[in-house]
Amino acid sequence: MIIPAIDLIDGSVVRLYQGDYEQKTQYEFDPIDVVKDYAAQGAKWLHIVDLTGAKDTNKRQLSLIQRMVETGLMQFQAGGGIRSENDVKQLLDIGVKRVVIGSLAVKQPELVKSWFEQYGPESIVLALDVNINDNGDKMIATHGWQEDSGVSLEALLSDFLSVGAKHVLCTDISKDGTLQGANTALYQAMQAEFPSVQWQASGGIGSLDDIRALKPANVGGVILGRALLEGKFTVEDAINVWQSE
């Protein structure tokens, strides 16, 4: 499935380069118009990152996200600095189908596992951002990619399988925002090792060929951000490529 993504700061659609707030590109798009446009082109899901809420949970853009959900045009997964059960509940209460949880799954795994048990594995996406070192170790980074957690992707996921973790958005940090192609080998390896997981590939996709290259990895979703905003191709183009034989 093709999953368009938008990042929001103070109501505006933006993109960060490799998670850096200082390397921000702002686009002159109204978020509601983006929802309508992407839905009209066939998108069934939208991935929302609330960057304002990630910096300050008291400023979470709930009213805007709720207006996006209330269009009724697609399903939504949303995150950005989820730190408490209240954060999870607020998003689910306004109609978000899946809450995206990143750093907290590494820092407080038992807490996050309790949310899986309470809300069900369909309601949570683990967003795991990895740096791959010279030895090929896939180490999860946290806090906007500023810190190496010391925890491997495989170890964390093995732990979360105990509560039925099903949706994992995995980003190779070195690829994010580069438009130079996704790390197909990473997703192929992870799909083989964890076949029960619906993997969402994220980072680096800049062309339709990059989408084609991901097909053998058999991922559940392909996250597209900057390439769509910059007109490299359309959502409709991407869906057609993904669905073609």
Give the lowest-confidence range in 12-16, 102-106, 155-159, 216-220. 12-16
Active-site hit among 50, 129, 172, 176: 129
Domain hosting 239: range is 2-243
The mean-pLDDT minimum among 6-10, 18-22, 148-152, 183-187 falls in 18-22
129 included as an active-site residue: yes
Which is the catalytic residue, given 7, 50, 172, 176? 7
Write the CB contacts of 48 (distance below 8 Å, at least 6 apart in sequence). Answer: 5, 6, 7, 8, 65, 68, 76, 77, 78, 79, 80, 96
Q: What is the mean pLDDT of the chain?
A: 93
* Contacts for 49 with CB less than 8 Å, ≥ 6 apart: 5, 6, 7, 8, 78, 79, 80, 100
Give the domain CATH number at 152. Answer: 3.20.20.70
Give the pLDDT confidence score for residue 143 in this predicted structure.
66
User: Is a pLDDT exceeding 70 seen at residue 181?
Assistant: yes
Residue 88 token pair: 């999870």
Chain position carrying tokens 């306004």: 94
pLDDT of amino acid 159: 97
Q: Please count the structural domains in the chain.
A: 1
pLDDT at site 60: 94
The backbone region for 10, taken as left when phi is positive above 0, alpha when psi lies in -120 to 50, beta otherwise, is: left
Reported as a pLDDT band with limits 50, 70 and 90, residue 147 is low
Q: How confident is the model at residue 144, as a pLDDT?
A: 60
Q: What pLDDT sits at residue 107?
A: 94
pTM: 0.93
